[in-house]
Structure 1
Amino acid sequence: MKKALIPLALSVVLSACATTQSSTQTPAAAAKPDYQVQTPATMRDASGHPTLEQIMSDPQWIARSPQQPFVGADGQVYFWQQRESSELYDLMTVKAGKVAKVADQDRYQHVDGGVWQNGRHAYSYQGNLYLQQQGQVRQLTGTSDSDSDPQFLSDGRIAFQRGNAIYTVDPASGLVRMLASVELKKQPEKLKEAKGYLETEQKKLLQWVDKKYYQDPKAQLAEEDKLQAADPTANPEPFYLGEGRRLVELSLSKDGSKLVVVTENDTPERADKDIMPNYLGRSGEIEVRQVRQRVAEWKPNPQVFTVIDLKTRAKKDLALSDLPGIDKDPLAKVREENRKAGYQVEPFKGPRAVHLIEDWSGHQLPIQWSDDGKLALMLEAEDNKDRWLVTADLKTGGLTTQHHLHDDAWVNYQFNDFGWLKNDSLWYQSEESGYSHLYLKPWGGKAKQLTHGAWEVHDPVLSADEQSIYFKGNVKHPGIYEVYKLDLASDTQTALTDLNGMTDFVLSPDNKELVLTHSKVLSPPELYSLNTSGGTPKQLTHTVSKAFEDSPWIAPKIVAIPSSHTQQPIYAKIYLPKNFDPAKHYPAVVFNHGAGYLQEVDMGWSDYFREFMFNSMLASQGYVVMDMDYRASEGYGRDWRTAIYRQMGTPEVQDLKDGVNYMASKYGVDKSRVGTYGGSYGGFLTFMSLYTAPDLFKAGAALRPVADWANYNAPYTANILNLPGNDPIAYHRSSPIYFAKNLQSQLLIMSGILDDNVFFQDSVRMVQHLIELHKTNHFSVAPYPVEHHGFRQPSSWLDEYQRIYNLMQQNLK
């Protein structure tokens, strides 16, 4: 049975941040919703600031912000919104100046995604295919199968994927036909030949045996093949690609004549031993849950790229040997360094495994066809040191590298968008200048850089007429993201917004409108509309509660802290007490954001909305609070991102030292009364700072922390530290558990027992190690039995942050 596409737990985008600039664009007033924005009673302390219990309560008290906006075929703006006091979401629309819920029975008519062509919209909804045209919606398929990935073919048909097969549907007649299917097994032996001595002699000696078992079947098979070839209604024979493979991707050319099939070895992605216990399951017994594989046990899985001519049925594997540098070992010096240090390392075995680029932003497929049938792919080495933008010779399988990006550290898992223009030029993103920028490569010509500067291009979208590329960028300040339009003919870049905050965008299908998701310091995300030709944005939603708006939040200021290790400053948020007196001495708390590669210090609404409110509360009680984009953070270019290569925890702690010294010199912070806290990567940094710089913080709270990177996942960790079998030095240098003996301050460790991202086992191992190191008087532990990596229960959030608050009060005040 198909599952209905009802969002049950869309990621909450509520967060908090601060700005130091005001907008030069003043949006028009918001549309009025048909529902009333609820203003719940707010728990406040004596100063009027929301209490910790209020801060950690269900975030709906802040806002029910719009999520995943899009413009429908009718030109109206749609978005998802969490239902009041529920985990369920409703589809909402903005129409005639009002926000209203879309009726459940009408949802199938308003679906994001799919493909557009000349006013036609083909999309998949609940596993069936639909066509929207001239204001009418037609259902094209309706089976128990799941139909996905529609595309318009050059002859007007719509192709789509069903399982391991490609089908087409003719919108005029409604006829659905199989175009091609892939079988991941050996091709069956249709005609069995005689085998062995007895069988061979039997065939030679007895005419009846020869006729019945060999000649008649051969004639029957020939007749069937002839009828199959002559019958225009027959389904094509499957393409057999061998045993032991699994399908990764299917990609059909725009004329429907060629198919790219990407496969890999069908090896298990986890082992039976990769499990964790659930103590509070439904059964009342200890339940076992499957979890991911660890990087220490991960092995490369090379992909094979097969081009199939659907007319001639010819198959050809792409020649990955044509990729420049594929046979070279980028870790040769690293292996030698480890060998000299006495470690046994795995020898290099070339050529390196290759796979489709895995862009974590998920904007587009890494296989792109031009209108005239040219094939381009974005490939990467499994070690993520090389990225190739290639075009393929569909007859020979030969590859021509149009662009090669090498990074001694790792190629970013963002900034990998690319595509064709009708003149056979390729546009693409690259960090080769040190920052993510746009490039244009004419067919047979030299690439040209289109955007320039010490800032980053995010989320590029090519206009339908291929004259422009829209993108988000932090051009005027690392923490301000506006929307820009790049004219490809003149290389002219125009700012379409000047809102001074965080602004994301969605381009309407007719390319006439931008739907903006914009936020500021104390303002959660709201939707705005803007004509692509320019003008003033019009606010579409107003979802924040009056209780939140009326609260006396302390907005952080954004500062550029001089670095003692780099030319670039370290951007940070500083929260100051309301009646800050530079003559006084203050305790301080440092919050460390998670993920590593994430930008927290911007002028929009942060993903860390609870931490923002907690930091504001601390400041209201006399603390100075710092929230830093240490090296490794997003938004500051390639060198800032890769500073942690093979040394996670070293540059970041250096930056934290600079931050503490800055607060001491500028804001009267008493360096003997500074604490720190953070979750995930931020918890890891709590460990590393307390262990490797014992005098820096008097107390620290490590939430869901990484203790040993060998236990984390491969896609993230292997980028930064290589593999444990290749580079044990990097893992020993970067894993807190190897430095725990230096703990002198007070440490609080808090983890969810059901955490399937950073395993609870990491905290268990760290605790046992601290016990063996006789650190009894220096640490405490709080496990959370029902929580995963991202906590869900308000009671857990409250307990966790009450403990952090108590830790700071007891050690810093």
Structure 2
Amino acid sequence: MTNFAKRFSLAVVCASLSACAATQNSVETQSSSNVAVVATAVIDASASMPDPDKPLTLTQIMADPDWIGREPEDAYWGSDSTTVYYQQKQQGSPIKDLFKTHINDTTNGQKVALSELHTAGDDGAVYNQQRNVKAWRFEGNLFVELLDSGEIRQLTRDQQSPHNLQFLLDGRLSYQSGDRFFAIDVYSGMTELLAHWTFKDEPKANEDPQDFIAKEQVALIDYVALQRTQREQRFAKRQQILKENPTTVPEPFYLPASHRTVEASLSPNGRWLIVSETEDKPSRSDGDIMPNYIGEDGRIKPEKVRQRVADAKPQDQSLWLMDLQRGEKRSLSYQTLPGFNEDVLADVKRENAEARGETYQANRLPREIGLMVDWYWDQSAIQWHSNGSTVAIMLEAWDNKDRWIATVDFKQGQLVSQHRLHDEAWINYKFNSFGWLNNSATLWYLSEHSGYAHLYTQVPGAKPKALTSGRYEVDEITLTHDDSYFYFQANIKHPGIYEIYRVAASGGEIQAQTDLNGYTDYVLSPDEQHLLLTHSKLTQPPELYHARVGGNQPVARLTHTVSEAFAQIDWQAPAIVPVASSHTQQPIFSRVYYPQNVEQGEKRRAVIFNHGAGYLQNAHLGWSGYFREFMFHNMLAQQGYVVMDMDYRASMGYGRDWRTAIYRQMGTPEIQDLRDGVNWLVENANVDRGRIGTYGGSYGGFMTFMALFTAPDLFEAGAALRPVTDWAHYNLPYTSNILNLPDIDPIAYRRSSPLYFAEGLEDPLLINAPMVDDNVFFVDVVRLVQRLIELEKENFETAIYPVEPHGFVQPSSWLDEYRRIYKLFEQEL
């Protein structure tokens, strides 16, 4: 390492840690020794430079990634708390195999035979109250293991796709199949239908006469009247049998016709059922298709795709509380929720109305509300206490501005709000885990209301108690069964370092469980004495590790799946740099790849990479999902480029304000951050301001467009891959959070979509577009290209990939794409 690089790395670490540590005085575990460890980790991360004698090539980088190794995926514990299972893809195939290893085994374990897969199942696994019986699904059937004896029993062989598995307080296993809940005795196999519901009108013995002729017929003809009387008698007898005979199945609950189930949840005591339902409207139209030109039959196939946000309409959900003992149902109104009818978008609507020369009058109509969408966190929005006596429900508004946690008053049949999280921008889809303590009527939940995601407990009706606080994010919560500890993942030491911690449920000091200085995730063992860790570093793909709980415990590596070919390469780990921001007090953390002797000779060329997904963190100290880009950046550094990879505003891991800076103005804060990055490169890395390019895919492609269209002085060239050009064509869940709906807030869409700024293109632009992309549709590129043609722009090129989805699959496509990107930079920089 050069003296310049050494001085620079140390300066980066000091600046980074001082910026982070100054805001973490609420964490008692943050100490000078921790700072020293982090500093050492970051310095070591930048110590390895590429070997000039073994230059990297695009052919190697973009080959089938199996040459790197096949990392362990979806790891979980066996019920004995010493066995570990994980998935690993087959060499040269997308097919995955299940492997089994032991906490004392370091040989990667052995593949589980196909005939034994049912014994290792973890799909929907649950334990009973005594934790001596475990249940799970395999291939649509139910299995249980009697843990005292190790006996495994198959309970069903019908492929009824059971889900919502739960042990009831009486020991039976309940499950949902369609719109029905069953309970099965794990010893006798006796199955009982507990409850079911259907979307149609409740049947009656006789239909009421509808017109004059029918009424007269009933009144005049004795035979007709007799038939109606006999039907009423048979109907009443049937109802009496169902009510008094304990061997019959219960009658269904009747819900509005033409509706469908959103979610249903049965109480552990089997007494209550909560059902959320909504009108069964199609989510897409016949026009939501994508032509697939390369099919097996040689014909064009119109693939069905998602709805566009511009076509979405608000949709309400209804909640029903069903008493299974009495056979009664009640509607749970949202009118007890604070703010249920606030016009939270009044200012936005007023601004848009004024732009049209109109006047907006605020309204107090009830908002559309439903269960919190579960598209990130793996749990139900309906959480019962383990004793079945109370329940908490997480609800959200369609407009994305409110999230509520409410309990249910069973006597009054109404919701009782316990926590309202309001955000003027939007409620995050992350950090919404919640539940109950097992042995007391106390809620726990994550909330961003302090500006960062933190853990709280709350006795219903009382104020919440913060168990964590500071400028860091808490996630992946696990509560021990005796309510002693909450385990969690957090980036306390540094925004880019994720470790495992625990805190007593009663509060107190946070206890670090790992000190690995990279990116670490975990699974707590069933006996709650072990941690199964998935850990990676900047140049090391994820591997499995084991440690005992308690902290300061030795960590044992369980898997070694990285290939020898990959391990032999002297990969350069990027330095983690806090770039000073001109628009916020927080630094912009970035990965920087340096060429050797960067400070010597002429000023260098540089490239800034824009990560995708928008809300994603890439400037962390773990292995990046952008592993091809990591290798490409190493290759560029070998050839004398400086490469920067920024966690621009909107990125994950830096708190609520960083996340919401792009509200109603996507592409504005991020380009301001790119300008700060360019200035940093010029001032600190010997870079020529006139020889800097940029590229990125998906959201990164959108940013490339916005940079070249709205700040043409910033870069000399850019490559936009699978890019968004018009946010009105993107999906509902992501886009409506940030820009509201197009018919409500067209100003935000016009302000944020590159299509409206195409006249600003001055520098060379490469557009790479997959044609069977069901995420960012190919039409995005088609419309922009037509706009550029009409604007008579000559400095752009388009490459299409007929068989590729959003994330490329074929190595030949990856290679072609990056050859074009590399050629652009070589020619223009």
TM bucket (normalised to shorter chain) is over 0.9
Structure-2 residue corresponding to 1:440: 457
Aligned mates of 2:688, 2:643 — CA distance in 1: 12
> 2:303 aligned with 1:289, yes or no?
yes
Amino acid in the other structure paired with 2:58: L
Aligned mates of 1:365, 1:342 — CA distance in 2: 43
1:583–1:397: structure 2 CA closer, same or farther, 3 Å change rule? farther
Structure-2 residue corresponding to 1:492: 509
Contact 2:205 2:232 in 1 (8 A): no
Amino acid in the other structure paired with 1:92: F
CA-CA distance at 1:474 after TM superposition: 0.2
For normalisation by structure 2, the TM-score amounts to 0.91
Match of 2:253 among 232, 239, 247: 239
Amino acid in the other structure paired with 2:75: P
> 2:693 aligned with 1:675, yes or no?
yes
Amino acid in the other structure paired with 1:93: K
Amino acid in the other structure paired with 2:241: L
Deviations along 1:509-531, one digit per CA (max 9) or x if unpaired, are: 22111100000011000000111
Aligned mates of 2:134, 2:360 — CA distance in 1: 51
Report SS of the residue matched to 2:335: helix
Structure-2 residue corresponding to 1:114: 125
Match of 1:333 among 338, 343, 347: 347
Structure-1 residue corresponding to 2:99: 92
Structure-1 residue corresponding to 2:473: 456
CA-CA distance at 1:465 after TM superposition: 1.2
1:199–1:24: structure 2 CA closer, same or farther, 3 Å change rule? closer
1:202–1:563: structure 2 CA closer, same or farther, 3 Å change rule? closer
Structure-1 residue corresponding to 2:166: 151
Write the mapping of 1:62-211 to structure 2, written as runs, cut at 5 A: 62-75=68-81, 76-95=83-102, 97=105, 98=107, 99-112=109-122, 113-117=124-128, 118-134=131-147, 135-194=150-209, 196-211=211-226
Range moving further from structure 2, 590-599 or 342-351: 342-351
Write the mapping of 1:254-265 to structure 2, written as runs, cut at 5 A: 254-265=268-279
Report SS of the residue matched to 2:492: strand
Amino acid in the other structure paired with 1:439: Y
Contact 1:25 1:536 in 2 (8 A): no
- In structure 2, runs of 5+ residues without a counterpart are 1-11, 14-34, 41-49
Contact 2:266 2:273 in 1 (8 A): yes
Contact 1:469 1:488 in 2 (8 A): yes
CA-CA distance at 1:397 after TM superposition: 2.7
Aligned mates of 1:640, 1:594 — CA distance in 2: 16
Aligned mates of 1:609, 1:207 — CA distance in 2: 83
Report SS of the residue matched to 2:822: helix
1:525–1:774: structure 2 CA closer, same or farther, 3 Å change rule? same
Aligned mates of 1:757, 1:22 — CA distance in 2: 43
Range moving further from structure 2, 359-368 or 729-738: 359-368
For normalisation by structure 1, the TM-score amounts to 0.93
Report SS of the residue matched to 1:188: coil
Report SS of the residue matched to 2:429: coil
Contact 2:453 2:655 in 1 (8 A): yes
Report SS of the residue matched to 2:318: strand
Aligned mates of 2:263, 2:84 — CA distance in 1: 32
Structure-2 residue corresponding to 1:8: none
Range moving further from structure 2, 684-693 or 170-179: 170-179
Aligned mates of 1:755, 1:22 — CA distance in 2: 46
1:107–1:343: structure 2 CA closer, same or farther, 3 Å change rule? farther
Aligned mates of 1:103, 1:238 — CA distance in 2: 43
> 2:280 aligned with 1:266, yes or no?
yes
Deviations along 1:620-639, one digit per CA (max 9) or x if unpaired, are: 00000000000000000000
Aligned mates of 1:661, 1:203 — CA distance in 2: 89
> 2:389 aligned with 1:373, yes or no?
yes
Deviations along 1:380-415, one digit per CA (max 9) or x if unpaired, are: 100110010111112433221111110000010000
1:102–1:332: structure 2 CA closer, same or farther, 3 Å change rule? same
CA-CA distance at 1:201 after TM superposition: 4.3
Contact 1:49 1:551 in 2 (8 A): no
Match of 1:727 among 745, 751, 754: 745
Structure-2 residue corresponding to 1:704: 722
Please tell me the root mean square deviation across aligned C-alpha atoms, in Å: 1.9
Write the mapping of 1:508-547 to structure 2, written as runs, cut at 5 A: 508-534=525-551, 535-547=553-565
CA-CA distance at 1:346 after TM superposition: 9.3
1:202–1:803: structure 2 CA closer, same or farther, 3 Å change rule? closer
Match of 1:383 among 378, 388, 399: 399
1:144–1:479: structure 2 CA closer, same or farther, 3 Å change rule? closer
Report SS of the residue matched to 2:797: strand
CA-CA distance at 1:90 after TM superposition: 0.4
Amino acid in the other structure paired with 1:558: I
Match of 2:291 among 273, 277, 291: 277
Aligned mates of 1:224, 1:322 — CA distance in 2: 39
Aligned mates of 1:368, 1:697 — CA distance in 2: 51
Aligned mates of 1:319, 1:582 — CA distance in 2: 70
Structure-2 residue corresponding to 1:4: none
Contact 2:719 2:821 in 1 (8 A): yes
CA-CA distance at 1:203 after TM superposition: 4.0
Deviations along 1:147-170, one digit per CA (max 9) or x if unpaired, are: 122100011111101111001101
**Aligned length in residues:** 775
Contact 1:360 1:414 in 2 (8 A): no
Structure-2 residue corresponding to 1:317: 331
CA-CA distance at 1:197 after TM superposition: 4.2
1:344–1:491: structure 2 CA closer, same or farther, 3 Å change rule? farther
Contact 2:318 2:331 in 1 (8 A): yes
- In structure 1, runs of 5+ residues without a counterpart are 1-18, 27-43
Report SS of the residue matched to 1:60: helix
Match of 1:761 among 747, 768, 779: 779
CA-CA distance at 1:489 after TM superposition: 2.1
Aligned mates of 1:177, 1:797 — CA distance in 2: 54
Amino acid in the other structure paired with 1:148: H
Report SS of the residue matched to 2:541: coil
Amino acid in the other structure paired with 2:275: V
Structure-2 residue corresponding to 1:398: 414
Amino acid in the other structure paired with 2:114: D
Aligned mates of 2:482, 2:601 — CA distance in 1: 61
Structure-2 residue corresponding to 1:615: 633
Aligned mates of 1:51, 1:45 — CA distance in 2: 13
Structure-1 residue corresponding to 2:736: 718
Aligned mates of 2:559, 2:169 — CA distance in 1: 40
Amino acid in the other structure paired with 1:77: V
Amino acid in the other structure paired with 1:751: A
Match of 1:586 among 601, 604, 608: 604
Contact 2:52 2:638 in 1 (8 A): no
Contact 1:588 1:673 in 2 (8 A): yes
Aligned mates of 2:242, 2:189 — CA distance in 1: 23
Higher relative contact order (CA 8 A, sep 6+): 1
Match of 1:218 among 232, 247, 254: 232
Structure-1 residue corresponding to 2:46: none
Deviations along 1:413-456, one digit per CA (max 9) or x if unpaired, are: 00001111121110110001110001111133211111011000
Range moving further from structure 2, 434-443 or 337-346: 337-346
Contact 1:316 1:395 in 2 (8 A): no
Aligned mates of 1:264, 1:666 — CA distance in 2: 57
Contact 1:646 1:734 in 2 (8 A): yes
